[in-house]
């Protein structure tokens, strides 16, 4: 199995997990690059004891956690910082979908890290047992965190819609 094979099969899932840890732009690009390098370096050590999907998502999850922890220790950016628009073409074609996806990701990123990580993996269709293995908790704890995450997301979306 090559990196290209993994990306062809699991690239969209990797992107969605990464998007749960950081906003769009250079920061997301940096995290994506970090995840891809980590997958590439770990690939020779993949012993097929788990699925390839679990393998790459575990790496993305671990790199995402490291990224979130580093960000938590950094001072917040200035309120006057300038957001640079993404120069990639084709954004106009998918603006409605992109805005809805970004709204969802914005709410996802407000969740506590423990809830965010299990919800992001559950959205990839992973069963509780596989999420538990990736995150390092019990399947029962996954169920509890998912329930709390869904409720927190619902409340967050309702608050935004009421405003």
Question: What digits encode the pLDDT tens for the residues 72-82?
Answer: 776 555 544 54
Helices vs. strands in the chain: H and E counts, helices first: 7, 0
Q: What is the pLDDT of residue 107?
A: 87
What pLDDT, on the 0 to 100 scale, is given for residue 25? Answer: 81
**What is d(CA 163, CA 159) in angstroms, rounded to the nearest whole number?**
6
- At 79 the pLDDT is 42
CB atoms within 10 A of CB 48: 8
Query: Model's pTM, two decimal places?
Result: 0.56
Which one of 1.10.357.10, 1.20.140.160, 3.30.70.870, 1.20.1280.290 gives the CATH number of domain 3-74+95-162?
1.20.140.160
pLDDT given at position 3:
84
Nearest to 126 by CA among 56, 53, 62: 53
pLDDT tens, per residue, the chain with 163 residues: 788 888 899 888 888 888 888 877 888 888 889 999 999 999 888 888 888 888 888 898 888 888 887 777 765 555 445 455 555 555 455 566 677 778 888 888 889 989 999 998 998 889 999 999 999 999 999 999 999 999 999 998 888 888 7
Of the candidates 50, 45, 48, 54, the one whose C-alpha atom is nearest the C-alpha of residue 10 is 54
Q: Which residues of 113-137 are buried (b: 16+ CB within 10 A; e: fewer)?
A: eebbbbbbbbebebebebbbbbbeb
Domain borders along the chain are: 3-74+95-162
């Amino acid at each position: 199995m090559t990196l290209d094979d993994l990306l062809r099969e699991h690239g969209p899932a990797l992107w969605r997990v990464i998007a749960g840890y950081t906003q769009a732009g250079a920061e997301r690009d940096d995290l994506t690059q970090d995840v891809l390098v980590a997958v590439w370096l770990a690939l020779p050590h993949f012993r097929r004891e788990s699925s390839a999907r679990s393998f790459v998502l575990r790496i993305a999850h671990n790199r995402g956690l490291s990224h979130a922890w580093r960000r938590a220790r950094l001072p917040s950016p200035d309120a006057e910082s300038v957001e640079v628009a993404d120069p990639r073409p084709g954004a106009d074609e998918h603006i409605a979908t992109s805005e809805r996806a970004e709204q969802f990701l914005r709410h996802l990123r407000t969740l506590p890290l423990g809830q965010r990580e299990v919800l992001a993996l559950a959205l990839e269709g992973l069963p509780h047992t596989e999420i538990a293995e990736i995150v390092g908790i019990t399947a029962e704890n996954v169920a509890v965190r998912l329930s709390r995450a869904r409720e927190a997301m619902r409340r967050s979306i309702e608050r935004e819609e009421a405003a």
